[in-house]
Chain A
Amino acid sequence: MQLKYRRLCSLFAVALLCAPALHAKPFKWSSQGDVATWDIHAQNNALQNGIHGTVYESLVSYNSKTFAIEPLLATSWKEINPTQMRFALRQGVRFHDGSALTADDVVFSLQRAMAKTSNFTPYTQGISRVAKVDERTVDVFLTTPNPVLLRQMTELRIMSRAWAEKNKSTEPEDMKSGEEIFAHRNAMGTGPYTLESWQPDVKMVFKRYPGWWGTMDGNVTEIVYLPIKSAPTRMAALLSGEVDMVLDPAPQDLDRLRASPDLKVIDGLEYRTIFLGLDQLRDELPGSNIKGKNPLKDLRVRKALYQAIDAEAITRTIMRGLGKPAATIVAPMVAGHTEAVGKRLPYSVEAAKKLLAEAGYPDGFEVDFACPNNRYINDEAVCQAVTAMWSRVGVKARLRTLPLATYFPMIQRYEASIYMLGWGVPTFDALYSLQSLVRTVGTGGDGNYNLGRYSNQRMDYLVDRIKGETDAPVRSRMLTEALQLSNDTVSHIPLHDQVIPWAMKKNVDLIHRADNKLDMRTVKVN
């Protein structure tokens, strides 16, 4: 009946008259990209993971405000022994086809995330196997004790096993086979919204699932996601009222948006820190005028480059408020960060010059400097400013900027002497950054983005200990020590933590999240 009524409404386009009767709260939002697939284990990217979270739920999740781990499909968990974790499943949870969630679904989904064609292995790292204990209990077995297991599991979402089997989607979609599986365009989760339709690059429609187990502050009954690639068009759609919210407004439009009587901009720190990495392995820098030695290996030189950068000025003039000066490789909300770790070396041209002279480069030197031009907020402009600041102390950085599709493979081949990188921390735990950025390059994820090949014995010892340390206070102390060590040795030159603005209509209320994900359960349209 209601459906018929709604159809009548849209037919006569008298939505205004119908809306109060239905209390339907549609919510349209936009950002530049679209998801590539609805298969929850095929590709690992933040926007897509966030959108999948509207339909699929994980066992545990982050609180949108505090980023503490909270129960979702699991109500509780306990350590049976250091390598065995037991999860009790929530009762009364139903998939969107009405079937009940069971331990089988959980085991199936976690195994699916561990499959060969899955790209979610970073989140299943250290899990050796998953086993069903009974209908409401699941055990996760680990190869070694893993203090960040729960944080990893926030990204491991649960799919209906029966549905996957019926639709031949038991294995994650193989992006290389060209066969589109059913789970590519369809979804069967337990989340607050069902996926109604998806036209790639056009729109995605979600409906509130009446059988959802939870309660929410939000009041949205229908979500429409409209990807709009062109930034000016995205803004126009918000200004004309065609969308209610834009996740990624262009920085240059913010003043205009803030000035508009119908719109507001909410911003907050992102979990992403922007910093510069430095080649600390080579004995001679390619393209530098200094022959026979690598100035970047000298701590005094790294300090000089650091102190020559006026991070305050960069965040004020170039980032225009979309950045906060950072002093270490992780943002303040990440576990391990303390006030002490967050203290920058003072900006001082004098000190920088003195350090360079002490190191034997009174006239500075030439160095290669690479930056992306379409990855981080105002990335290219920031690098140009840094280049200018360095020239004041005699360091001639030859800046080259590249689009991210070529930039990343290039820096991963260790071809840049100094490079810009931004690092987000989806686990909200500093180990994630330490292991990737300052651990000596090794196997697994060790040093996978340590592209200046920094290497420090004490650091390696700390990182390897932290990986398996389950005593929380001890581990937390070691995280902070490792960050402090990174600061003291200037493993990287921290620039700023990004601040991400979200633009929306005045009548929209929601919670801004540091991981740039829109938690639909918090969205209210008044």
Chain B
Amino acid sequence: MLAFIVRRLMQAVAVMITVAFIAFMLFQYVGDPVVFLLGQDATPEQIHALRSALGLDRSFVVQFWHFLVHAAQGEFGLSLRQGAKVSRLLAERLPATLELTLVSALLALAFGIPMGVYAALRRGSFSSQLLMTLSLLGVSLPTFLIGILLILVFAVTLGWFPSFGRGEVVQIGWWSTGLLSAKGWHHIALPAITLAIFQLTLIMRLVRAEMLEVLRTDYIKFARARGLSSRVIHFGHALKNTLVPVMTITGLQLGGLIAFAIITETVFQWPGMGLLFIQSVTFADIPVMAAYLCLIALFFVLINLMVDLLYFAVDPRLRVDRAGGH
């Protein structure tokens, strides 16, 4: 078990170095921030001086090596735009992103699972057909469009919700939370729904398909034959087994949520890491971009690891001694 975890962590490091390398490769082409820092009045001498001071004139290999050495010490260098430590900038933005993604994930689960179960049990009825049709919309509409539509309807036309921002936040140590005030919840509603819709429909369709699958198995038939009430069968036996693959997908999707938050955060001016990343792209703030991508990679790796461990806990068949992964 321990060996398994250690092995997975080793893989994680390899993944992150690869991500950092690819990120750096890409960033050779995003331009440079010098023109933003100095303005149009800068002389060529000033531009050269600043470029060399920032190490932008060094070769790709040298820049990458520096990045790795610093990263190994937990230091991702400096934001060129804000002159602050990247690690600090990301730490400031992390709470907003995590709160948004968690609220979205909970929304997706709280609505997705019951809707999926309903659609499976009432298969063929008009209401479940309607749900399935709507879910196609949810899967196919791009996030930014959903966001803009929600803003148009609920913020501009009806005026029920604010169209941007996070509202009032409360500092608890280094963590800032918007979930302790009504205003904060008011602000998180639209972005969380925007981010959740895709996941919600995905979970719903998945639960429905799995549930139908499980309901066809022998042990369900056997349970019916024993005369158990359909409630016990549906929610005791069937749902439990349905949720194993749902757990995997949800886990993997959580990483996706964090990554896809970029678009939602940009649409709603949600001050999380995604917004920071987008602004860094405009500004060619390479250290921030690289660190962000590494962090996202780390999230994916950790979430995968947790899903694997949960599998160990949930599915006794997996506890034969072999390397993890799926």
Contact = CB atoms under 8 A, between A and B. Distances in A.
A1 interface: no
Interface stretch (A86-94, A195-203, A327-335): A195-203
B271 interface: yes
B275 A229 contact: yes
A36 interface: yes
Contact of A229 (B37, B85, B269): B269
A176 interface: yes
B78 A178 contact: yes
Interface in B1-48: 29-47
A36 B31 contact: no
B268 A407 contact: no
Interface in B254-298: 266-269, 271, 275-276, 278-279, 282-284
Given A176-B54, A240-B159, A409-B32, A122 B165 contact: no
Contact of B83 (A37, A229, A410): A37
A444 B47 contact: no
A403 B278 CA distance: 13
B81 interface: yes
A46 B279 CA distance: 17
A336 interface: no
Interface in B151-186: 151-152, 155-156, 159, 162-166
Given A199-B271, A200-B82, A448 B152 contact: no
Interface in A65-86: none
Nearest to B89: A200
Given A45-B39, A236-B156, A424-B40, A173 B83 contact: yes
Contacts of B47: 412
A61 interface: no
Interface in A202-236: 202-203, 226-230, 232-233, 236
A180 B83 contact: yes
A44 B38 CA distance: 5
A407 B39 contact: no
B41 A445 contact: yes
Nearest to B53: A176
A203 B40 contact: no
8 contacts: A175-B83, A178-B77, A199-B271, A229-B266, A229-B269, A232-B148, A233-B269, A236-B152
A119 B279 CA distance: 21
Contacts of B106: none
Interface residues of B, number: 52
Contacts of A199: 271
A174 interface: yes
Interface in B100-152: 148, 151-152
Given A202-B165, A236-B148, A443-B43, 7 more contacts: A122-B43, A202-B166, A240-B155, A240-B163, A406-B29, A409-B32, A436-B40
Contact of B84 (A180, A228, A233, A405): A180
B156 A423 contact: no
A122 B33 contact: no
Given A233-B164, A233-B267, A242-B162, A201 B31 contact: no
A240 B155 CA distance: 6
Contacts of B36: 43, 45
Given A122-B39, A409-B32, A203 B165 contact: yes
Interface of B: 29-47, 53-54, 77-78, 80-85, 148, 151-152, 155-156, 159, 162-166, 266-269, 271, 275-276, 278-279, 282-284
A403 B40 CA distance: 16
Nearest to A45: B39
A506 interface: no
Contacts of A46: 39
A448 B42 contact: yes
Contacts of B78: 175-178
A178 B83 CA distance: 5
Contacts of A119: 37-39, 42
A236 B159 CA distance: 10
Contacts of A240: 155-156, 159, 162-163
A449 interface: yes
A184 interface: yes
A374 B163 CA distance: 24
A452 to B, nearest CB: 15
A479 interface: no
B278 to A, nearest CB: 7
A44 B37 CA distance: 6
B87 to A, nearest CB: 10
Contacts of A241: 159
A405 B156 CA distance: 34
B83 A184 contact: yes
B80 A226 contact: no
Given A42-B83, A173-B83, A178-B84, A448 B44 contact: yes
A233 B163 CA distance: 7
A290 interface: no
B83 A174 contact: yes
B279 A201 contact: yes
Contact of A242 (B30, B164, B278): B164
B35 A175 contact: no
Interface string A18-49: 00000000000000010011000011111000
Interface string A43-58: 1111000000000000
Interface string A405-418: 11111101000000
In the A-B complex, list the 9 residue pairs whose CB atoms are closest, starting with the nearest. Answer: A405-B31, A122-B41, A44-B39, A406-B31, A175-B83, A405-B284, A178-B78, A236-B163, A408-B35
Contacts of B148: 232-233, 236
Nearest to A34: B279
A288 interface: no
A230 B41 contact: no
Contacts of B53: 176
B39 A242 contact: no
B35 A409 contact: yes
A455 to B, nearest CB: 16
A232 B151 contact: yes
B79 to A, nearest CB: 9
Interface in A165-200: 173-178, 180, 184, 199-200
Given A122-B42, A240-B159, A201 B276 contact: yes
Contacts of B31: 403-410
Residue from A46, A178, A180, A241 whose CB has the most chain B CB atoms within 10 Å: A178
Query: Which of B34, B40, B276 has the most C-beta atoms of chain A within 10 angstroms of its own C-beta?
Result: B40
A178 B85 contact: yes
A173 to B, nearest CB: 6
